[in-house]
Structure 1
Amino acid sequence: MNTEGVEFFYMEEGAKSWQYKKANIQKANDNPLHKTLQQVYSGSQNLESYAMYNDQPPEGTASGTYAHSKGALAFDRTSGFWIVSSVPRFPAPVKDGYKYQDQQKTFGQTILCVSVDKTMEDKIKSVFETTHPYIYDSKNFSPTTGNKQTTSDVNMKTRGNVQLKCIAKSADYKYGNKLSGEITRTVRSL
């Protein structure tokens, strides 16, 4: 399959298979990623909190003390979303609006977006307390820094009642390959 690097495969909750989208990820038309992030970029009065994080931020650099993680999240009074991605320098800060740059389409990327209830915000914060991501743009979202756990194991649920488990480690985790055994035990217990 020949592509221009802007098309993508997409799966909605409840779908049985991936759908190939010829839509351009750099444009607004028929782009679920743009539609999701536009809730933040539009400056909606309903938006209570958001955060954008990336160890390769759109502007400047992050030191090596931050997590190797990328994504965004936002919440209103009742619900929100959490995007976890591999895309460097994405998403753009709110002041710049939605941008998916040409250099971001060079390599294959993954983007996972889950819709969650507002109650999941504190669970995401607990993960961030362990991982310490580089948050370069935010509003009313600040994980406390008192958590000294080297791992976290958090049960989550999507708005569609899909159960998720988020397993994370801190930079201070010093047990190398032992982590894969911990993950295996955790997954088997599901």
Structure 2
Amino acid sequence: MAALSLLLLAALLWVPVGTLTCYGDSGQPVDWFVVYKLPAHSGPGDAAQRGLRYKYLDEDSGGWRDGAGLISSPTGAVGRSLLPLYRNTTSQLAFLLYNDQPPQSSGSQDSSSRGHTKGVLLLDQEGGFWLIHSVPNFPPPASSAAYSWPPSAQNYGQTLICVSFPLTQFLNISRQLTYTYPLVYDHRLEGDFAQKFHLEEVVKGHHVRQGPWNSSVTLTSNKGHMFQSFAKFGNFGDDLYSGWLVEALGSDLQVQFWQRSPGVLPSNCSGVQHVLDVTQTAFPGLAGPTFNATEDHSKWCVAPERPWACVGDMNRNKREEHRGGGTLCAQLPALWKAFQPLVKAWEPCGK
């Protein structure tokens, strides 16, 4: 029976050789997915598991679905996508792990001088994926025994977006990272990858030295979907959303971000388009769940009347006006239709 269980687990974790891509909850390659880890205090059930539950979305999911198990599982979308990191079997694999709050096991220290930005680049000679997220102390370094979810990230809501890209797109992605100025706590850039793109510069902490201090590029996924990456360096000196994004997208924006930080910026209606701070999020259906922004560490925004939705790693506060960071946006109907109804309440201007 034990041998059968091991065989079953091996089958569940099987990933085709040379297929570096985002994997969905179904276990199959997907062009993109979003995982929304739910706050621990939302919904019924065992207390130890509540902070590991999540909602899952991709272009074929038909909206938000309950996650396939717990986010700590190596067989879910996030764990399976990151699995090549911990197999560590080929020098043809390149990766960057960056986080302004890196895992303690990495030996790196939190750095407020670097960008407020979190993510993973994983690629080979054909392509790979970019995972942008809000999760502190995540993911574990590649030297770790296996994928795991940090206990420090169980209480509050978190978002992760994964997009599969052909190799050609990583030149623009690496340039964006010279604006966001990430703290890289683990990497591998052997052989050709040491010279390709600007990844070695990113690892060494190089960044843009002259204005403009922000950059927007169009990225094309494996399936031809268009994503717009917005990245700013600290010298930009303004809020990502009200100082740039709202005008660039030409629409009002409702923004969900961590509101327990000092110097939170209020909703801003000073321009033609308004930026409104989300105060409560509600998933559809009787089971919801519904939760307040004070329970939610995720970072996303949505245009209430136009098909833009973005997932990123920046908050709205005074300090982050002077830090690097960014967001990834798209006009995909499946993405917008999933995020637009989530906004249950927001802070009106002038409150």
Using the size of structure 2 for normalisation, the TM-score is 0.50
Per-residue displacement from partner, 1:42-90 (whole Å, max 9, x unpaired)?
1142743100000000024232211001111110111101110100000
Per-residue displacement from partner, 1:102-148 (whole Å, max 9, x unpaired)?
22111111111111111111111111111100000001142352532
Amino acid at match of 1:25: I
Give the match's secondary structure for 1:130: helix
> Which residue number in structure 2 is paired with residue 108 of structure 1?
157
Q: Structure 1 pair 188/91, CA: closer, same or farther in 2 (3 Å)?
A: same
> Which residue number in structure 2 is paired with residue 83 of structure 1?
131
Give the match's secondary structure for 1:14: coil
Task: Measure, in 1, the Cα distance between the counterparts of 2:207 and 2:182.
Answer: 14
Query: Are the counterparts in 2 of residues 11 and 19 from structure 1 also a CA contact under 8 Å?
Result: yes
Amino acid at match of 1:8: Y
Shift of 1:24: 1.3
Task: Give 5+ residue unaligned stretches, structure 1.
Answer: none
Alignment partner of 1:52 out of 81, 87, 97: 97
Query: Are the counterparts in 2 of residues 126 and 143 from structure 1 also a CA contact under 8 Å?
Result: no
Shift of 1:91: 0.4
Amino acid at match of 1:41: Y
> Which residue number in structure 2 is paired with residue 158 of structure 1?
221
> Which residue number in structure 1 is paired with residue 44 of structure 2?
2
Task: Measure, in 1, the Cα distance between the counterparts of 2:153 and 2:207.
Answer: 34
- 1:65 maps onto 2:113 in alignment: yes
Q: Structure 1 pair 63/88, CA: closer, same or farther in 2 (3 Å)?
A: same
Query: Are the counterparts in 2 of residues 68 and 133 from structure 1 also a CA contact under 8 Å?
Result: yes
Task: Measure, in 2, the Cα distance between the counterparts of 1:48 and 1:119.
Answer: 16
Amino acid at match of 1:154: V
Q: Structure 1 pair 76/179, CA: closer, same or farther in 2 (3 Å)?
A: same
Query: Are the counterparts in 2 of residues 154 and 166 from structure 1 also a CA contact under 8 Å?
Result: yes
Identity across matched positions, percent: 26
* Moved >6 Å (runs of 4+): none
Amino acid at match of 1:89: N
Give the match's secondary structure for 1:172: helix
Using the size of structure 1 for normalisation, the TM-score is 0.89
Alignment partner of 1:182 out of 244, 251, 255: 244
Give the number of the structure whose alpha-carbon radius of gyration is greater: 2
Alignment partner of 1:137 out of 165, 186, 189: 186
Q: Structure 1 pair 65/100, CA: closer, same or farther in 2 (3 Å)?
A: same
Amino acid at match of 1:164: F
Task: Measure, in 1, the Cα distance between the counterparts of 2:240 and 2:122.
Answer: 33
Q: Structure 1 pair 181/20, CA: closer, same or farther in 2 (3 Å)?
A: same
Task: Give 5+ residue unaligned stretches, structure 2.
Answer: 1-42, 190-198, 252-330, 332-351
Aligned residues: 188
Query: Are the counterparts in 1 of residues 97 and 184 from structure 2 also a CA contact under 8 Å?
Result: yes
Shift of 1:162: 1.2
Query: Are the counterparts in 2 of residues 9 and 21 from structure 1 also a CA contact under 8 Å?
Result: yes
Task: Measure, in 2, the Cα distance between the counterparts of 1:15 and 1:61.
Answer: 38
> Which residue number in structure 2 is paired with residue 34 of structure 1?
79
Query: Are the counterparts in 1 of residues 232 and 240 from structure 2 also a CA contact under 8 Å?
Result: no
Shift of 1:13: 2.9
Q: Structure 1 pair 163/180, CA: closer, same or farther in 2 (3 Å)?
A: same
Give the match's secondary structure for 1:106: coil
Task: Measure, in 1, the Cα distance between the counterparts of 2:149 and 2:125.
Answer: 28
Query: Are the counterparts in 1 of residues 169 and 219 from structure 2 also a CA contact under 8 Å?
Result: yes
Give the match's secondary structure for 1:95: coil
> Which residue number in structure 1 is paired with residue 302 of structure 2?
none
C-alpha RMSD of the superposition: 2.2
